[in-house]
């Protein structure tokens, strides 16, 4: 298993370089994916009057940003790949913050929900609690966090030129709960398939009123 050093810049640089080199192909390959189940699971628990302030964490080329904006929400993207940022602005017309996940910095209490679809798995385990803490801080009281990640047996390392952590439900549940979130729901995708043909784990969380205190993962 190829583990990074804490906050190692090469982890982000190599992963982002992969997306930069494959940006057009990634857009073509994902723009028509059906993620309506994820949209519903995320938007349903958000409380308060609409429109919602939404952060799309790892927005990629802007597919989900465009959807949230089409519903009238105030959608903001965050993305580390410069070409994805430009594409997301063009496709959605939304604000897109260009930031590396490992140096993420966000205003306190700005968002009703954070949509992290196929993005948090790129954060090395050493840094994940810190990143989750920033996302928690960016949420309003009782705000909602959605995440969908490729699942595994808590394995971590390089897959080609992309770094990833593939969590199973119990470890992921314990980790996100320790960062100050209460679980609302989880499910596996795609629906209607045997579990061994459901490579994605989706989880929905609400910001806790208080946190027990962040604990280092390793």
Contacts of 124 (CB under 8 A, 6+ apart): 3, 4, 6, 8, 11, 102, 156, 163, 165
Mean pLDDT, consecutive 10-residue stretches, the chain (218 aa), reads: 48 94 96 96 98 98 98 98 98 98 96 98 96 98 98 95 96 97 97 94 95 50
On whether residue 194 sits in a domain, the answer given is: yes
**What's the CATH code of the domain at 119?**
3.40.50.150
What's the Cα-to-Cα distance from 50 to each of 35, 54, 72, rounded to whole Å? 21, 11, 8
On whether residue 73 sits in a domain, the answer given is: yes
Q: What is the pLDDT of residue 2?
A: 38
Q: What is the pLDDT of residue 212?
A: 55
On whether residue 188 sits in a domain, the answer given is: yes
Q: What is the pLDDT of residue 8?
A: 60
Q: Which residues constitute the domain of residue 46?
A: 9-207
On whether residue 214 sits in a domain, the answer given is: no
DSSP one-letter code for 3: P
Do you know the residue count of the chain?
Answer: 218
The alpha carbon torsion through 190, 165, 202, 12 (nearest 10 deg) reads -100
Q: At what angle do helices 82-92 and 9-21 cross, to 10 degrees?
A: 50
Q: Measured between alpha carbons, how far is 188 from 107 in angstroms, rounded to an integer?
A: 32
Q: Measured between alpha carbons, how far is 213 from 207 in angstroms, rounded to an integer?
A: 14
On whether residue 216 sits in a domain, the answer given is: no
Number of domains, the chain: 1
Q: What is the pLDDT of residue 3?
A: 37
């Amino acid at each position: 298993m190829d583990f990074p050093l804490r906050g190692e810049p090469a982890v982000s640089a190599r992963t982002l370089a992969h997306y930069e080199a494959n940006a057009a192909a990634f857009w073509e390959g994902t723009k028509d994916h059906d993620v309506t189940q994820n949209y519903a699971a995320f938007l349903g628990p958000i409380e308060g009057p609409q429109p919602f302030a939404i952060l799309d964490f790892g927005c990629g080329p802007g597919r989900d940003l465009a959807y949230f904006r089409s519903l009238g929400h105030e959608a903001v993207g965050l993305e580390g790949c410069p070409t994805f940022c430009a594409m997301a602005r063009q496709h959605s017309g939304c604000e897109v913050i260009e930031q590396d996940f490992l140096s993420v910095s966000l205003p306190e209490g700005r968002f009703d929900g954070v949509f992290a679809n196929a993005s948090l798995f790129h954060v090395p385990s050493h840094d994940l609690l810190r990143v989750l803490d920033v996302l928690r801080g960016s949420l309003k009281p009782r705000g909602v966090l959605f995440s969908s990640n490729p699942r595994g047996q808590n394995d971590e390392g390089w897959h080609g030129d992309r770094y990833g952590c593939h969590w199973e439900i119990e470890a992921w549940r314990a980790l996100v709960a320790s960062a100050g979130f209460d679980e609302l729901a989880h499910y596996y995708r795609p629906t209607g398939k045997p579990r061994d043909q459901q490579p994605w784990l989706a989880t929905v969380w609400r910001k806790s009123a208080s946190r027990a205190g962040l604990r280092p993962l390793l």
